[in-house]
């Protein structure tokens, strides 16, 4: 009797029945006895930790972690991963501490378990934020050790298999999360078998009626398909034998979720999808794949434009295969995949094949490098924004519908479909993206927002002092580009907010004949500490963003013997219109230079400028502490938005005539709308870009001089 057999014989019957026997039987096929004994030790530890706990289905809780390890054993994962799978819930659901796992199983296993554990001890503002933060932690743990996500995917797969015991609302939420996040991650890591099962189980739980309709249609078509695929398979096998090629020819079954997605994507009926047949041919060598392709095309004619070579240019998730679609008997479409055995294993197991092919075929190692390259990008993505933004960014990056674009040196970059030249620039390097000013596609200058297409060569032109344009966020596709732009804008906003906050605080101190230079550093440090902030810079930032009120902070900075009566001769805060992200010009009244103005502090938006006559000011006047006195700086060199309304008689071409009159004053029209009031007259609304009130007055005089114009007024809330 060997060691593992004797271990099983020592287990009480009740514990053997929980599933450890099946797991150990699988491990005997590829692990030495000493490692199996370590897995057994982990089972004993987890069994004791989860003693008395039951799943919602009523089963002992230990069945779940053993089932997760069993799934990973099918992929021939290493013993550390299997131990982590068995222990993956002990830190979350039992009093077990990380130190205990380190002492008994080592730091490597403890880090894997910690990466999978959720953040239940942290208080979040919402459930969505908690899920997003947990997801962020898991993905960043993946960067250190990719086995974290493999345990998590196996955990999610077993949870989906047993989802029936959950309440309907919870079941749908878990299914949605699985389809949105975990199935795409499995796909991104090339773990096709797990991806297909997660999609199938998620689709079944989220759309049970649709699933049933598709499943019924597939089952009805199965009889005919089996006979039809048998004939096609026989024809292809005979042709391969004649050509002296050894290969496995088998039919491929379509799963319900892929059928549903194809129906939606191609806008076709269920019968059109079900009637497409799939064949897979597995051969021994890469060059044999191309020879097989020629043989297959000799048996059935290929459909034009339906051939794809994923061997020469693999998909982003490492998938390699030749794809072709043939005209079968009676014109029936036949989808054929041709690949080597190693490619097939990588296609099914993805990153897990790295553990199976350590000393063999290079394709698994090449894929492993690609996966790690993607994971490294997550570090850049997570630098900016909160957890929920990070989650949304990664979602965009997970779907592998890619285009392949060349750099001027001939290197290939893989980008999501719809990516622009800006996405390409950030894919090259973050600094290239931040400094890009123009782009050439196939040696022709194009706008930066131009989408790139397969096979194009893209060259980015950058300038030393260039900075990202905030509007890029509206059209970039990749998570890295979006995160990099947001991070830059966040830093820019922080810098501007600090500058504005310092000015606001100085203005408030001037009322007491003080300024920040005269306030002792220890006084400022004490106020920073009392307000629960980290630094003097953060205090200025909070004031600039309207989250702290400058007059209140100023009073806390006063010396104890200071006169409490302020100097009422302090001047207003001068603005020039160039403060950017922390000074906002209200769109209810469109203030422009030389207008009498007031400003209020809005949390997160900084200073918001209104005209004194704005109708919306009544709402804010009840909060005098949020108002500050402001004035225009002289010689403001900037254009401002302003809105005017023009009542005109209804005549053909009157809109063009008014627009021409406005253009004659060298004024840009940003937006125009038309509201027909009655059969005789209409009201035109123009949003213009002007320098100041004098500029606006010239525009209004030019419009009033037209005979078709009945009235011109400036909009005011």
Residue 571 has pLDDT above 70, yes or no: no
299 pLDDT band (50/70/90 cuts)?
very high
Pick the residue with more confidence: 331 or 142? Answer: 331
Just give the CATH number of 221-356. Answer: 3.30.460.10
| pLDDT tens digits along 300-312 | 999 988 899 989 8
Backbone phi, psi, residue 467, to 5° = -135, 160
Per-residue pLDDT at 714 = 92
* Catalytic residue chosen out of the listed positions 92, 361, 459, 537: 92
SS (H, E, C) 454-508: CCCEEEEEECCCCCCCHHHHHCCCCHHHHHHHHHHHHHHHHHHHHHHHHHHHHHH
Question: pLDDT digit string (tens) for 390-410?
Answer: 555 555 555 445 677 888 887
Exactly one of 41, 93, 348, 537 is catalytic; name it. 93
566 pLDDT more than 50? no
Q: Phi and psi at residue 635, in whole multiples of 5°? A: 55, 60
**CATH T-level topology, domain 640-714:** Alpha-Beta Plaits (3.30.70)
| Residue spans in the chain of domains classed CATH 3.30.460.10 | 221-356
CATH number, domain 401-464+472-477 = 3.10.20.30
Other Cβ atoms less than 10 A from the Cβ of 390: the count is 23
Can you tell me the distance from the alpha carbon of 491 to that of 501, in angstroms, rounded to the nearest whole number?
A: 15
Distance CA 357, CA 342 (A): 8
| pLDDT of 452 higher than 60 | yes
For 587-620, the DSSP string reads: TTT---TTS-EEEEEETTTEEEEEETT-TTHHHH
pLDDT in tens, 43-78: 999 999 999 899 888 889 999 999 999 999 988 888
Q: Which alpha helices (DSSP H) does 122-244 contain, by range?
A: 127-144, 147-161, 168-177, 183-188, 192-206, 208-242
pLDDT at position 534: 85
Q: What share of the chain is helix, strand, coil (3-state, %, to 5)?
A: 55, 15, 30
* pLDDT(386) > 50: yes
Q: For 198-248, what is each residue's pLDDT tens digit?
A: 999 999 999 999 999 988 887 777 666 677 788 888 999 999 999 999 999
What count of other Cβ atoms lies within 10 Å of the Cβ of residue 422?
Answer: 28
pLDDT, position 8: 40
Class of domain 3-209: mainly alpha
Least reliable range by pLDDT among 294-298, 400-404, 423-427, 481-485: 400-404
* Cα angle 80-85-86, degrees, rounded to a multiple of 5: 100
Q: Each residue of 424-437: pLDDT tens digit?
A: 999 999 899 999 99
93 counts as catalytic: yes
What's residue 572's pLDDT? 59
Active site includes 541?
no
Q: Which residues of the chain does CATH 3.10.20.30 include? A: 401-464+472-477
Q: What's the whole-number mean pLDDT along residues 577-581?
A: 52
The residue to which tokens 């622009």 are assigned: 420
Output the pLDDT for position 134: 60
Residue 442 has pLDDT above 60, yes or no: yes
Which is more confidently placed, 564 or 714? Answer: 714
Name the average pLDDT for the chain.
80
The CATH 1.10.3210.10 domain(s) of the chain lie at 3-209
Q: What is the DSSP string of 319-343?
A: ---EEEEEE-GGG-EEEEEEEEHHH
* Kind plus residue range of the DSSP H or E element containing 446: strand 444-446
By the 10 Å C-beta count (0-12 exposed, 13-18 middle, 19+ buried), 104 is classed as: middle
pLDDT at 283 over 90: yes
As a whole number, mean pLDDT of residues 642-667 equals 90
Most confidently modeled range among 145-154, 292-301, 598-607, 608-617: 292-301
């Amino acid at each position: 009797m060997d060691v593992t057999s004797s271990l099983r014989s020592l287990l009480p019957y009740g514990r053997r029945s929980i599933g450890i026997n099946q797991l150990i039987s699988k491990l005997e096929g590829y692990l030495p006895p000493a490692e199996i004994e370590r897995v057994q030790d982990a089972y004993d530890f987890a069994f004791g930790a989860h003693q008395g706990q039951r799943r919602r289905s009523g089963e002992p809780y230990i069945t779940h972690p053993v089932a997760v390890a069993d799934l990973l054993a099918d992929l021939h994962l290493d013993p550390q991963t299997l131990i982590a799978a068995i222990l993956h819930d002990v830190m979350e659901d039992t009093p077990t501490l990380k130190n205990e796992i380190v002492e008994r199983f080592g730091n490597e296993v403890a880090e894997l378990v910690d990466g999978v554990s959720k953040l239940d001890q942290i208080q979040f503002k919402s459930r969505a934020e908690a899920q997003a933060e947990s997801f962020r932690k898991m993905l960043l743990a993946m960067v250190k050790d990719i086995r974290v996500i493999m345990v998590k995917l196996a955990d999610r797969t077993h949870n989906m298999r047993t989802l029936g015991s959950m309440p309907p609302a919870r079941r749908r939420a878990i299914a949605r999360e699985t389809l949105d996040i975990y199935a795409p991650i499995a796909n991104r890591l090339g773990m096709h078998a797990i991806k297909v099962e997660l999609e199938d189980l998620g689709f079944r739980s989220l759309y049970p009626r649709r699933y049933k309709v598709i499943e019924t249609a597939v089952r009805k078509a199965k009889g005919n398909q089996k006979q039809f695929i048998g004939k096609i398979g026989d024809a292809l096998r005979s042709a391969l034998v004649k050509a002296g090629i050894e290969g496995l020819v088998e039919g491929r079954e379509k799963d319900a979720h892929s059928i549903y997605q194809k129906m939606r994507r191609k806008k076709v009926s269920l019968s059109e999808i079900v009637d497409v047949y799939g064949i897979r041919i597995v051969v021994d060598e890469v060059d044999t794949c191309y020879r097989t392709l020629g043989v297959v095309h000799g048996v059935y004619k290929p459909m034009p434009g339906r051939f794809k070579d994923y061997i020469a240019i693999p998909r982003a998730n490492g998938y390699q295969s030749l794809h072709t679609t043939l005209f079968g008997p009676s014109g029936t479409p036949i989808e054929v995949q041709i690949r080597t055995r190693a490619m097939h294993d990588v296609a099914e197991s993805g990153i897990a094949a790295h553990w199976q092919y350590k000393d063999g075929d290079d394709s698994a190692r090449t894929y492993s490098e690609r996966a790690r390259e993607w994971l490294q990008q997550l570090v850049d993505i997570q630098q900016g924004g909160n957890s929920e933004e990070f989650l949304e960014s990664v979602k965009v990056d997970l779907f592998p519908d890619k285009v392949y674009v060349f750099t001027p040196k001939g290197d290939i970059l893989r980008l999501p479909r719809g990516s622009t030249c800006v996405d390409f620039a950030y894919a090259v390097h973050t600094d290239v993206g931040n400094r890009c000013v123009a782009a050439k596609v196939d040696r022709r200058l194009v706008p930066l927002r131009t989408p790139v297409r397969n096979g194009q060569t893209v060259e980015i032109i950058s300038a030393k002092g260039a900075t990202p344009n905030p509007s890029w966020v509206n059209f970039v596709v990749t998570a890295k580009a979006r995160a990099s732009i947001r991070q830059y804008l966040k830093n820019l906003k922080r810098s501007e907010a600090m500058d504005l906050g310092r000015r606001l605080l100085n203005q408030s101190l001037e009322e007491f004949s003080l300024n920040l230079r005269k306030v002792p550093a220890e006084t400022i440090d004490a106020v920073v500490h009392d307000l629960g902030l980290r630094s003097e810079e953060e205090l200025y930032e909070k004031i600039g963003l309207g989250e702290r009120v400058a007059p209140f902070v100023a009073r806390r900075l006063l010396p104890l013997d200071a006169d409490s009566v302020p100097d009422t001769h302090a001047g207003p805060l001068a603005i020039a219109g160039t403060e950017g992200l922390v000074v906002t010009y209200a769109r209810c009244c469109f203030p422009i230079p030389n207008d009498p103005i007031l400003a209020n502090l809005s949390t997160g938006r900084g200073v918001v400028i209104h005209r004194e006559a704005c109708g919306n000011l009544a709402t804010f006047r009840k909060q005098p502490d949020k108002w500050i006195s402001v004035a225009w700086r002289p010689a403001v060199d900037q254009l401002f938005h302003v809105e005017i309304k023009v009542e005109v008689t209804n005549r053909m071409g009157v809109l063009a005539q008014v627009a021409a009159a406005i253009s004659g004053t060298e004024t840009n029209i940003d937006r125009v709308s038309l509201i027909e009031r009655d059969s005789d007259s209409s009201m035109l609304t123009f949003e213009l870009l002007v320098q100041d009130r004098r500029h606006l007055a010239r525009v209004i005089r030019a419009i009033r001089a037209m005979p078709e114009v009945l009235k011109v007024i400036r909009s005011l809330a």
